[in-house]
Amino acid sequence: MEKKLSKIEIILLSIIGALTLAVIGLSIWIIMLKKKQSQPTPSEYYSTKCASFEVQNANLSQGQIIFIGDSITDLFPLDNYFTSLSLATYNRGIGGDVTQGVLDRLKVSLFDLNPSKVVLMIGINDIDSGKTPKQIETNYKKILKKIKDNLPNTEVYCMSIISQHNTIETYTNLRLSYTIPTIMQTNTYIQSLAQEFGYTYVDLFHATCDSDNALIKSYSDDGLHLNANGFEVWSNVIKPYLQ
């Protein structure tokens, strides 16, 4: 016959069980805390990426194609789309970057490699941080002037800022009623600046938006960044300019 547990034994087992659960819970909390602490801040990520660009530059060829911008560019797997080109493509995107960030890192991102062609997409993080189209225009103009002064023979393709869809509203305070008109106004400034400097404006906005000017949902998983479908569209739009 099985021996029945005494009240003391039952209490001890309950205490042991509770302590075990507490230890497991504490372990999980510590792991999550360490994981959170291991995530770099935007400033740290920016600095790390710039440092890595400087190291990479020593082993890269001059006169190639450079994509520069924020996380939308940073996440673009260029090797999946542009291997058929005669020139190599280098990714100089940094997640979270803004127009001022691009302006500050033009030397390590572009000038040191003397690219023959540059694909520039920047501005959405400026918008999402509350910058006005006019404020963005001011910095964007500085970027183009600095490129023109340092790389007078380089072709520059100024990409329109892409739209967003309402998924983004589930994890930010952004609202499409604000962002879409602001994006469209900013794009008009980018187009005008491209013309002013003799560069090419490439309209990816209308190639990726629906009838409401929102980003087509099948092109993004989070409402902001492009997925494989979106990158396919971008590559098809820009590739004829890079042949």
Spatial distance between the Cα atoms of 27 and 10, rounded to a whole number of angstroms: 26
Tell me the mean pLDDT in the region 156-171: 87
Residue 21 scores a pLDDT above 50: no
Q: Helices (DSSP H) in 97-166: which residue ranges?
A: 99-104, 106-109, 124-128, 133-150
> At 176, is the pLDDT very low, low, confident or very high (cuts 50, 70, 90)?
confident
Spatial distance between the Cα atoms of 164 and 18, rounded to a whole number of angstroms: 48
How does DSSP classify residue 92? Answer: E
Tell me the mean pLDDT in the region 74-102: 97
Model confidence, pTM: 0.83
Secondary structure of residue 215 in the 3-state scheme: strand
Counting residues of the chain whose pLDDT is more than 90, the rounded percentage is 77
Domain assignments of the chain as residue spans, ordered by start: 7-39, 42-242
- Nearest to 153, CA basis, from 208, 189, 178, 116: 116
- Nearest to 91, CA basis, from 63, 120, 62: 120
Q: Which superfamily does CATH assign the domain made up of 42-242 to?
A: SGNH hydrolase (3.40.50.1110)
Tokens of 183: 């994006």
116-127, pLDDT tens digit by residue?
Answer: 999 999 999 999
- Nearest to 99, CA basis, from 132, 60, 51: 132
Query: Quick one: how far is CA 202 from the chain centroid?
Result: 18
Answer for the pair 123, 161: CB distance below 8 angstroms, yes or no.
Answer: yes
